[in-house]
Structure 1
Amino acid sequence: MAASEQGVQSASGMQIVTVNMVSDVVCPWCIVGYQRLQEAIKTLDNIEVDIKFHPFELNPNMPEEGQNLREHIMEKYGISEQQSAQNRARLVEAGEQLGFSFNFTDDSRMQNTFKAHQLIHFAAENGLEEEMKLALFNAYFTDGKNINDLGVLVALAQTVGLDKSEAEQALKSEKYAQAVREEEALWMQRGIQSVPTFVIGNQGVAGAQEPATLAAFIAQAASQQ
């Protein structure tokens, strides 16, 4: 990554470090990682963090109707029902510590996220990328909504301040489909195979790392600018 991408200095004299977060909105550890990043940011002195989100599909071949979440996780990772339940309990606890609610049920479904990523791309062009990303995380994990449904997505777009008709047209026309595919391919070519992955300066940091770890990487990137 070029030095210009690592960060600059703001008008106030604070250093700006860009954190590129590669993630999927049905990835529970991605929202945990985001919340931990927020905790890390609170501990930084004289460093401003600019978060940029990048798409990654955990299940690019997921059918439109999705799949039962528990069945999907057991099949994909070869784990037992008991292990799946333990994983959910860990996530609920991690979320509670960070102020995020995971509401898993036996009917929770893994969903196709290609439309959601297109909506985030549209939101980014309107300066509402982070708001849209968070709205999708909350809709999926907390409210149990189908974030592959056009009506749900359009309604969510409106809640963050996007024009409802423009959002609907962008999704129906798949205006941003190619852009999302190209960006997904770009990050995979850079070696990212799992999410969340944070690219901070010249370092790729995989997983929902603890706040102190993320803060250290950000501080290191700032010192190298």
Structure 2
Amino acid sequence: MKKIRIDIVSDIACPWCAIGYARLAKAMERLAPAYEFSVQWKAFELNPDHTGQGEPILPALARKYGRSEQEMHDNQQRMQAIATALGLNFAKIQERLTCNTFDAHRLVKWAGEWGRQTAMKQALFEVYFGKAMDVSDHTVLLSCVQALGLDPAKAKQVLDSDQYADLVREEEATYRQAGVTSVPAFIINSQYLIAGAQEPDALVQALQEIGAEFA
């Protein structure tokens, strides 16, 4: 059995990251008989300087990309359709607000200590895109912890401290210095980069080609 490690550079606030992982999961499932995969989530913030109250997502995106709000609405609607087909809850993708994701990234690191890193990431995607909840709010973060059956008291201690802060910052700096400017980015066996939320067929082909290098 071939072993493949996948480091996923992503942000909780990135809808394509949720879509990209869902597509990757399908590809890994198809390859599972011959491959053993390990997945690690790496931190990246699309809006690291965000402070204060959140802004409605459509005007924020329109300003960022120099497009109209209608264009942004249509783009988000297309993503919603793609996500729904993959079984993801993007019901309130248009209603969400911008927010800071730094503490959410710290919580993902903490969840990894309990073997629940991917589950935490998916829970955060669910509350942000499916329920338009503020993933910078510690109450929201702790609700995700509880939903996964992890210890909210221990998670609160992490959130109230600076635990994992240096690790998150180091990862963000490492990948920016490596030239990662958009997410998701899948780094395979620390050597190969697959950029963007590729379709499952493309991921299967890429992973098979990479796997052949390690045969």
User: Do Structure 1 and Structure 2 share a fold, with TM-score over 0.5?
Assistant: yes
| Structure 1 Cα separation of the partners of residues 92 and 116 of structure 2 | 27
Question: How many residues are treated as equivalent by the alignment?
Answer: 212
Q: What are the ranges of 5 or more consecutive residues in structure 1 without an aligned counterpart? A: 1-13
Work out the percentage of aligned pairs sharing the same amino acid: 38
Identify if the C-alpha distance between structure 1 residues 105 and 209 changes in structure 2 by more than 3 Å, giving closer, same or farther. Answer: closer
Aligned pairs for 1:94-173 (under 5 A) are 94-104=82-92, 107-173=95-161
2:92, 2:131 within 8 Å by CA — same for their partners in 1?
A: no
Q: Which residue of 2 aligns with 1:4?
A: none
Q: Which residue of 1 aligns with 2:26?
A: 39
Is 1:212 paired with 2:201?
A: yes
1:88, 1:104 within 8 Å by CA — same for their partners in 2?
A: no
| Structure 2 Cα separation of the partners of residues 125 and 151 of structure 1 | 21
Q: TM-score, normalised by structure 2?
A: 0.94
In the TM superposition, what is the alpha-carbon distance from 1:106 to its structure 2 partner? 5.7
| Equivalent residue in structure 2 for 1:23, among 1, 6, 10 | 10
1:24, 1:30 within 8 Å by CA — same for their partners in 2?
A: yes
1:64, 1:148 within 8 Å by CA — same for their partners in 2?
A: no
Q: 1:65 corresponds to which letter in structure 2? A: Q
Q: Which residue of 2 aligns with 1:192?
A: 180
Pairwise CA RMSD: 1.3
Between 100-109 and 197-206, the greater mean CA deviation after superposition = 100-109
Q: TM-score, normalised by structure 1?
A: 0.90
Q: 1:150 corresponds to which letter in structure 2? A: H
In the TM superposition, what is the alpha-carbon distance from 1:104 to its structure 2 partner? 2.9
Q: 1:216 corresponds to which letter in structure 2? A: Q
Question: CA deviation digits over 1:77-108, x for unaligned, max 9?
Answer: 11112211110111011012111121236642
| Structure 1 Cα separation of the partners of residues 10 and 107 of structure 2 | 14
Identify if the C-alpha distance between structure 1 residues 105 and 131 changes in structure 2 by more than 3 Å, giving closer, same or farther. Answer: closer
Q: What are the ranges of 5 or more consecutive residues in structure 2 without an aligned counterpart? A: none
2:12, 2:124 within 8 Å by CA — same for their partners in 1?
A: yes
| Structure 2 Cα separation of the partners of residues 105 and 29 of structure 1 | 12
| Helix, strand or coil at the partner of 2:160 | helix
2:96, 2:128 within 8 Å by CA — same for their partners in 1?
A: no
